[in-house]
Each structure stands twice: as structure tokens, then as C-alpha cells.
């Protein structure tokens, strides 16, 4: 579903709608946006996690140019926000659909431990 086309991406954007009265195959193609709720939900989830990861990498790469006392606070706030969003919105949504969320919940339970890892890099 990213910026580069793929077979899986096309599969997600094309749906079979049966055949018309002449026997010709009927399909629908979505152009722009995403047609399915789960694609939207997972896109939001991964975008948030990616943003925090990029923030951590940027802090590590540019630590000499940042306020050392402020950068870790921003990263921790970002990590906490992502974890809270997922606990409040993603986990209930996934559980309603019978998806396993134990691994994700365990990951967010380790947020302080993960933060200490980043902090040790500075």
C-alpha cells in the first residue's frame, strides 16, 4: 500500500464482482485511498511506530545539535503516546476481530525498557 506498486498492493485494490449477463468478468478497482478498514487501521499503527523510530534515530544522529535534556523527554512522550493510542484504540479493534494482541501489549509494556535502551545510546 506504499508508494511503490506491488502485486500484493494491486490485489488489495482490485475486487471480483462476478460476471455480467454476457459472461464477461466484472471487477472494481480502487484508485486513491484504501478501500478496507484494516488497511487504514494498520497504516495508522505502523506510521505512528515508524515516526517514533525515526525520532529516536534522529536524536541519536544529531545529539550534538540538540538540547540533551530535552530530546529524551520528547522521545519518551512519543513512545508513551503511541502505546496509549494502541491500548485505547488498536487493541480493542483487533480483539473484536479475533486478532491476537498479546505480543503488541507485551511490547508496549516494555516501553520503559525500550526507552532505557535508547537513552543508553546517548
Q: How far is CA 56 from CA 24, 29, 87, 104, in A?
A: 53, 38, 21, 19
The three cell numbers of residue 56 are 529516536
Q: Is the pTM of this model over 0.75?
A: no
Burial of 9 from C-beta contacts in 10 A (0-12 / 13-18 / 19+): middle
Where exactly are the structural domains of the chain?
1-34, 37-121
Choice between 84 and 32, residue whose per-residue pLDDT is larger:
84
9-67 per-position pLDDT tens digit: 777 778 888 888 888 888 887 777 666 788 888 888 888 989 988 888 888 888 888 88
Reduced to 3 states (helix: H, G, I; strand: E, B; else coil), residue 47 is: helix
Note the pLDDT of residue 55: 86
- pLDDT higher than threshold 90 for residue 102: yes
Give 9's contacts (C-beta < 8 A, 6+ positions apart): 1, 2
Amino acid at each position: 500500500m506504499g508508494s511503490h506498486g506491488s502485486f500484493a498492493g494491486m490485489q488489495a485494490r482490485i475486487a471480483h464482482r462476478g460476471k455480467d449477463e454476457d459472461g464477461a468478468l466484472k471487477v472494481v478497482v480502487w484508485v486513491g485511498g484504501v478501500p478496507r478498514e484494516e488497511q487504514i487501521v494498520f497504516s495508522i499503527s505502523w506510521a505512528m511506530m515508524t515516526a517514533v523510530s525515526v525520532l529516536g534515530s534522529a536524536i541519536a544522529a544529531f545529539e550534538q545539535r540538540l538540547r540533551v535534556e530535552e530530546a529524551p523527554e520528547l522521545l519518551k512522550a512519543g513512545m508513551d503516546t503511541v502505546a496509549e493510542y494502541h491500548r485505547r484504540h488498536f487493541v480493542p479493534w483487533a480483539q473484536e476481530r479475533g486478532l491476537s494482541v498479546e505480543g503488541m501489549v507485551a511490547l508496549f509494556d516494555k516501553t520503559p525498557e525500550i526507552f532505557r535502551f535508547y537513552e543508553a545510546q546517548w
